[in-house]
Copies of this chain bind each other. A is one copy, B any other.
Amino acid sequence: MITRYCTPPMAEIWSEATRYARWLDVELAACEAMEAAGIVPAGTAAEVRGKVVLNADRINEIENVTRHDVIAFLTHVEEQAGDPARWLHLGLTSSDVLDTAFAMQMRSAATLVQDSLRDLIAACRDRADLYKNTPIMGRTHGIHAEPTSLGLVFASWAAELDRDDERLTAAITRLSFGKISGAVGNYANLEPAIEAHALSLLGLSPEPVATQVIPRDRHAEFFCALGMIAGTAERVAVNLRLFQRTEVSELFEPFGKGQKGSSAMPHKRNPILAENITGLARTVRSYVSPALENMVLWHERDISHSSVERMIAPDATSLCEFLLYRLAKVIAGIEVDEVRIRANMEITHGLVFSEAVLLALVRSGQPRQKAYEAVQRCAMAARAGQGTFFDLLSRDPLISELLPPRELDQLFDLNHHLRHVPTILKRVLPKE
């Protein structure tokens, strides 16, 4: 987690201070539940809460000796709270604290990611609506295909992001589980009711069948959800870069005042935000693989997942939130050169209407293959500079016989291609 790619609220979530604070929350929730059950003297949790000011440095100092983080934490709490502290952690195992607290941190981090994701969705929807009537060249294989609407481009991103949001919600739900069930998850020195009470205080559900830890498929699902979000973000970013290429120059990411494009070439305006997002997304995707490997734990647990999560949980969430935040700003501030968009549509001199001609020929009775060859012949001639596509079609004996000039003219109509755009947009724009 590096400052450059991390928002302050996310940094806060993954700070040592927050981590220890969550541990205390879990210990005290368990303590409260035991108070209610009459196992621990009433008021213990409150008394400890009142006496303890967590000091991360001191905890680390103790850990250097014990080499066990939770024991160091408890020792530190005992140093401050004195006798009542001995009621803490009763029947708990370290992982009860660690995994439950981790679930809380993950949920907080996931929520920040989701906030940014929804801002991005809103920005895409907004642009979809704004540009719904702007025709633009549709491209497949990077080659001009048929005209479409610029609004649809944004709508397509919004629709995919909506699915990302659904998946993220499902992942968060399945991540919001804690466990306070002891060393091997069978409540050997605890009661299920204690766990249920304590977790309800923390807003979590009890893991139905825990081992020492919460099973790692829950976390893997979350990293997969982030990986897919990154995939969508990368799709958007790569397309923004394609749109901004000098020869295309249709969309531009916002360019700050005072910004410099290149130390050597003062004329340049580079899509560095979109490129940056591409790289960040690539990085976020890379966390899926170790997260899946983390699922394979030995017996009631081994601790191999721990060092992995210490790295990838803060990194994946912070990078993902950051790239979504950045991308949302790019989309909201996107510059559109409509003149250039229109000019680019005319590069191929009408070749993009070839399908419409083909279909009209088929409808008028030509066998499909023969029609295809006729249209392709004119298209190739147009590409070779032997005339505009329209003229070549008009002069073709086969075609001109079946399609009189006026009919041909109608086939070259742009509005025809956009007539269903409102129907499509309705599927992705929020109902008014």
Contacts and interface: CB of A to CB of B under 8 A. Distances in A.
Interface residues of A, number: 171
B143 A246 contact: yes
Contacts of A224: 221, 224, 227-228, 288
Interface stretch (A44-52, A103-111, A115-123, A259-267): A259-267
A232 B294 CA distance: 10
A145 B256 CA distance: 20
B286 A287 contact: yes
A2 B91 CA distance: 32
A415 to B, nearest CB: 11
A68 B228 contact: no
Contact of A2 (B155, B300, B310): B310
Contacts of A241: 141-142, 298, 302
A282 B304 contact: yes
A183 to B, nearest CB: 5
A69 to B, nearest CB: 9
When all copies of this chain in the complex are counted, the total is 4
Contacts of A342: none
B312 A283 contact: yes
Nearest to A370: B86
A358 to B, nearest CB: 6
Interface in A273-332: 275-276, 278-280, 282-283, 285-290, 292-308, 310-312, 315, 319
Nearest to A141: B270
A65 B258 contact: yes
A183 B139 CA distance: 9
Contact of A264 (B1, B182, B238, B301): B182
22 contacts: A2-B310, A86-B362, A92-B263, A93-B262, A139-B245, A140-B270, A141-B272, A145-B212, A146-B265, A156-B210, A163-B221, A164-B217, A188-B355, A239-B298, A245-B245, A260-B372, A266-B354, A267-B376, A272-B303, A275-B306, A276-B303, A280-B307
